[in-house]
């Protein structure tokens, strides 16, 4: 066997994926640059554009995130993305720009909240600097930007990392629907209980002084649940887009991996691959479940508090079999945002 050289060792240390947020002008400039240099376009869901290069791919998402992946990632970021697009040097300076990322702390995130089929999974990951550095190099990032096969691979890496602590909390679909069907039930309160349960278990295994939660509510619901569980001397910080923190990103990956496993099990029971999200295809699968298993059988697969559940049960004339509460009128989000800004929404 050939002996590894120092250059081989240095190559193995290079990052293989990188995520950055760009503004519209930077996005446009990047797209034109890649096109002009002969990069090959390819299809990626939810992107403005995606291009394949010789040693890396670039996917620019409608959210503004750009994901670079492949063995040439580091060179592309240094010599193209930073030098020609952002004109800001950040790669390699994470410890200077974000020193808190490398402190021993907990990361919390969830998966499945917006999916009609399958449970909501809350996950907590606790890690220290060595683990965090390894996960960054391996490509651990917000799970929404990672395909399922890679999610499962990274989940195994995270769970197998020495010194890391991983805990998840979920309710099976019948129990989930029972809890959400109670008077005064609220998904944010249920999710807060799940997060507090996973976190308190993780802290029992390994104590750290603080943690970061990808914020899903402005209310201190998780903090209140932690107090009920007797968790003291722990600071839970909350903010949106917390997946930039690598430990929160790891929790995002773990939660999504467990959601994928749960969906595979439900798909086996259904007899076909259940779709994620709440699309027209999802609605058709819901109708098929009612045809095969009856309206009551829908509770084994789907979140009954979703508007979709009421609509398909009502369409099937089965509200006597599964009496669901009629949802309120759909919110006009454009009007809501306009009211908050004090402006008038555009005319239809």
- Kindly report the CATH number assigned to the domain that includes residue 257: 3.30.420.10
pLDDT tens per residue across span 239-267: 988 888 999 999 999 999 999 999 999 99
Residue 62 in any domain: the answer is yes
Residue 12: pLDDT above 70?
Answer: no
The span from the CA of 301 to the CA of 267, in Å, is 9
Q: Do both 85 and 149 map to the same domain? A: no
pLDDT at 214 (0 to 100): 87
Q: Do both 35 and 109 map to the same domain? A: no
Q: Do both 253 and 221 map to the same domain? A: yes
Q: Do both 249 and 102 map to the same domain? A: yes
pLDDT at 309 (0 to 100): 97
Residue 26: pLDDT above 50?
Answer: yes
Residue 210 in any domain: the answer is yes
pLDDT at 42 (0 to 100): 94
Which phi and psi (to 5°) does residue 18 adopt? -155, 140
Residue 231 in any domain: the answer is yes
**Domain termination residue (choose one: 199, 230, 262):** 262
Across 89-106, average pLDDT: 68
pLDDT at 3 (0 to 100): 43
Residue 9 in any domain: the answer is no
Contact 209, 100 (CB under 8 A): no
Q: Do both 124 and 221 map to the same domain? A: yes
Q: Do both 220 and 295 map to the same domain? A: no
Residue 236 in any domain: the answer is yes
Residue 96: pLDDT above 70?
Answer: no
Q: What is the sign of the dihedral through the CA atoms of 46, 60, 136 and 105?
A: negative
Q: Do both 102 and 236 map to the same domain? A: yes
pLDDT-derived band at 291 (thresholds 50, 70, 90) equals: very high
**Domain termination residue (choose one: 92, 122, 150):** 92
Among 50-59, 110-119, 338-347, where is mean pLDDT lowest?
Answer: 338-347
Give Cα 226 to chain centroid, integer Å.
23
Residue 84 in any domain: the answer is yes
Q: What angle do CA 68, 20, 218 make, to 5 degrees?
A: 135
Residue 100: pLDDT above 70?
Answer: yes
Query: How is residue 7 written in tokens?
Result: 């250059």
Residue 66 sits in a domain whose CATH number is 3.30.310.10
pLDDT tens per residue across span 187-213: 999 999 999 999 999 999 999 999 999
**Domain termination residue (choose one: 70, 92, 114):** 92
Query: How is residue 99 written in tokens?
Result: 């020193």
pLDDT at 340 (0 to 100): 45
Residue 216 in any domain: the answer is yes
Mark 68-85 as b/e (b = at least 16 C-beta within 10 Å): bbbebbbebbeebbbeeb
Specify burial of residue 124 (Cβ count, 10 A radius: 0-12, 13-18, 19+).
buried
Across 147-163, average pLDDT: 95
Q: How far, CA to CA in Å, does 244 sit from each of 118, 164, 168, 318, 340?
A: 26, 19, 20, 45, 28
CB 235: neighbour CB atoms within 10 A?
Answer: 11
pTM of model > 0.75: no
Q: Do both 243 and 137 map to the same domain? A: yes
Q: How far, CA to CA in Å, does 231 sit from each of 25, 156, 220?
A: 46, 29, 14
Which phi and psi (to 5°) does residue 122 adopt? -105, 140
Q: How many domains are there within the chain?
A: 3
What stretches of the chain show up as alpha helix (H) in DSSP? Answer: 6-13, 24-36, 73-76, 94-97, 129-138, 148-159, 173-180, 187-205, 221-228, 246-270, 280-293, 307-315, 333-341
Give me the residues paired with residue 179 across strands.
Answer: none
Q: Which domain holds residue 82?
A: 14-92
Residue 244 in any domain: the answer is yes
Among 86-100, 209-223, 308-322, where is mean pLDDT lowest?
Answer: 86-100
Q: Do both 302 and 323 map to the same domain? A: yes
pLDDT at 345 (0 to 100): 45
Q: Do both 229 and 288 map to the same domain? A: no
Q: Do both 162 and 229 map to the same domain? A: yes
Q: Do both 137 and 256 map to the same domain? A: yes
pLDDT at 114 (0 to 100): 93
Q: Which of 279, 325, 71 has the alpha carbon at shortest distance from 185?
A: 325
Q: Which helix (H) or strand (E) holds 299?
A: none
The span from the CA of 268 to the CA of 303, in Å, is 18
DSSP classification of residue 327: P
Using a pLDDT cut of 70, give the percent of the chain over it: 88
Across 317-339, average pLDDT: 73
């Amino acid at each position: 066997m050939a002996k590894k050289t120092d250059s081989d060792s240095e190559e193995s240390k290079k990052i293989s994926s990188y995520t950055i947020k760009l503004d519209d002008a930077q996005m446009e400039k990047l797209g034109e640059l890649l096109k002009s240099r002969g990069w090959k376009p390819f299809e990626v869901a939810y992107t403005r554009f995606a291009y394949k290069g010789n040693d890396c791919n670039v996917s620019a998402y409608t959210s503004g995130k750009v994901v670079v992946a492949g063995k040439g990632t580091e060179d592309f970021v240094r010599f193209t993305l930073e030098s020609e697009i952002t004109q800001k040097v950040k790669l390699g300076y994470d410890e200077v720009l974000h020193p808190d990322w490398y402190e021993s702390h907990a990361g919390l995130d969830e998966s499945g909240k917006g999916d009609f089929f399958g449970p909501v999974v809350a996950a907590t990951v606790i890690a220290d600097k060595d683990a965090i550095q390894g996960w960054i190099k391996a490509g651990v990032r917000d799970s929404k930007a990672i395909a399922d096969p890679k999610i499962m691979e990274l989940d195994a890496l995270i769970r197998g990392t020495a010194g890391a602590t991983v805990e998840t909390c979920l309710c099976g679909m019948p129990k989930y629907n029972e809890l959400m069907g109670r008077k005064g039930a609220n998904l944010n309160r249920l999710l807060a209980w799940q997060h507090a349960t996973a976190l308190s278990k993780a802290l029992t295994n390994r104590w750290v002084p603080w943690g970061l939660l990808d914020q899903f509510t402005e209310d201190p619901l998780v903090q209140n649940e932690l107090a009920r569980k007797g968790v003291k001397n722990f600071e839970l910080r909350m903010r949106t887009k917390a997946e930039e923190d690598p430990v929160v990103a790891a929790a995002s990956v773990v939660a999504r991996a467990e959601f994928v496993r749960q969906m595979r099990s439900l798909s086996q029971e259904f007899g076909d691959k259940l779709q994620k999200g709440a699309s027209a295809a999802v609605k058709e699968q819901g109708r098929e479940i009612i045809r095969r298993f009856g309206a009551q059988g829908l509770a084994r697969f789907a979140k009954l508090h979703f508007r979709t559940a009421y609509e398909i049960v009502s369409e099937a004339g089965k509200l006597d079999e599964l009496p669901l509460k009629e949802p309120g009128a759909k919110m006009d989000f454009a009007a809501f945002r306009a009211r908050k800004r004090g402006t008038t929404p555009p005319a239809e």
